[in-house]
Amino acid sequence: MSRATEKEIEAESRQCGNKPPIMPFYVPGTSIRGPFRAQSERIIRSLLPEGASHPYTACDPFDQVLGCSELLKKEDGVTRKKYAAACPACKLFGCAGLASRIRFTDADIEKGYSSVYRDMIGIDRFTGGVSTGGGGGSGSKGKGANMRFHVLENTTFTTTVTVTNFELWQMGLLAYVFRDFEEGLVPIGFGKTKGFGLVKGEITEITLSYPEALTHINHIGSLMSNEAERADYGIHPYEAPPFGNPPVQKNDGFSLYKTVTVTNIPDFWAKTAPAFNGYVKELVRQAPEKTT
């Protein structure tokens, strides 16, 4: 491994015929969103019986037959029916025909990182030695398989996660995903098997915005007027829990919406996680009836 200055990186970029980087480094929101969805799917699948099928466990979004994007085409175009028919992961992260309820902003890399190169070599799968390229049966024509990666180490970045019109179990699912993220179990970006993308994070602030003053962690189900409406959308009934500590209200002059800052973040997750537990129990109860 060799240390590289930004000037050296620029020089190498020019040698390769690329323009030197003029923008600061950043992590695209989509690169954060993907691993969060994958971790959500893992959590859901690990809690549902192995034989559970659509829509009682997370679908494979790339499955051209059994993925929600394909299956939801059969619904009659009414959005609420599509939502009711989607799998738990697609209900939050969306799929073709159903908008996502969660979004991640691009995250600028903050200064103070180490800029290094990592050199790697390809392995010949037959001999176990260094690949010399060109001689294999796969049709490769390179002269060896040396790879050089530019890596930023010890970086920090901040993203904002926005969830709109959520069900409480979706917040509960995020409680589990964020806990895994805090423990470094959600790698981000390219080359995870090469050891890249290891990241740990923490939630530093939660703000809630509602059309009226709130004393409870309200969610879309608790705001619906009747049981028939909840059933139409397939909303999981769950009583909105009160806050452990009253949130701090910001007075920004726009009185139709109240935006409040959650003062006790661990309490917020502790209040929302049981909603996901209850939702999973309900899925487990329903799955065998509908799929056998």
Q: Are 184 and 199 in contact (CB under 8 A)?
A: yes
Q: Which stretch binds Zn ion (CB under 5 A): 1-9, 83-91, 215-223, 273-281?
A: 83-91
Query: In the window 157-176, what residues touch Zn ion (CB under 5 A)?
Result: none
Smallest separation, CB 202 to Zn ion (Å)? 29
Query: In the window 23-62, what residues touch Zn ion (CB under 5 A)?
Result: 59
Q: Which stretch binds Zn ion (CB under 5 A): 86-94, 96-104, 222-230, 281-289?
A: 86-94
Q: Print burial letters for 121-151: b (CB count within 10 Å at least 16), e (below 16).
A: eeeeeeeeeebebeeeeeeeeeeeeeeeeeb
Query: In the window 204-263, what residues touch Zn ion (CB under 5 A)?
Result: none
Q: Which stretch binds Zn ion (CB under 5 A): 79-87, 115-123, 130-138, 226-234?
A: 79-87
Identified binder of Zn ion from the candidate list 72, 90, 151, 175, rule CB under 5 A: 90
87 binds Zn ion (CB under 5 A): yes
Smallest separation, CB 255 to Zn ion (Å)? 39
* Cβ closest to Zn ion, residue 77 vs residue 112: 77
The count of residues interacting with Zn ion (CB under 5 A) is: 4
> CA-to-CA distance for 216 and 288, rounded, in angstroms?
34
Identified binder of Zn ion from the candidate list 27, 32, 68, 214, rule CB under 5 A: 68
> CA-to-CA distance for 274 and 240, rounded, in angstroms?
11
Long-range contacts of 227-230 (CB under 8 A, 24+ apart): none
* Cβ closest to Zn ion, residue 56 vs residue 157: 56
Q: Which residues bind Zn ion (CB under 5 A)?
A: 59, 68, 87, 90
